[in-house]
Amino acid sequence: MLDLSQITCLLDAVIFPLVGSIALMYAKLSRGVPARRAEKQFFAILVVLTVVTLRTVITCDEIWIVHTMSLGGLIVCSLLIPGQVETPDQDPSVAV
């Protein structure tokens, strides 16, 4: 049976990468003004995940490799996954 510290360690290993991945997909799939807001949220989550990764590396937790890999994966995927491209025909804010 798992005790409370093992459960929190497991949640720590799963929740942060999952939230980061969801924020990345939302930022890449949205368009217009919601896309700008989603990108800001993704960068905020990326900063939080960076701080959590630094904390786990400094304290030598067993889960440091998971945090480091998820942080690296989010950075690489944010550069590799193409975003939604809007043409002037699709952008309602462009006056013709």
- Per the listing, tokens 């006056």 go with 95
Confirm whether 96 is domain-assigned: no
Distance CA 73, CA 79 (A): 10
**Structural domain harbouring 53:** 12-80
Cβ atoms of residues 67 and 56 within 8 Å:
yes
Rounded to the nearest 5 degrees, what angle is found at the Cα of 71, between the Cα atoms of 24 and 53? 130
- What residue ranges in the chain does DSSP mark as E strands? none
Confirm whether 90 is domain-assigned: no
pLDDT in tens, 36-73: 899 999 999 999 999 988 988 898 888 888 889 999 99
Q: Which one has a higher pLDDT value, 86 or 94? A: 86
Question: The tokens of 29 are what?
Answer: 């799939």
Confirm whether 32 is domain-assigned: yes
Does residue 28 have a pLDDT over 60? yes
Total domains, the chain: 1
pTM metric for this prediction = 0.74
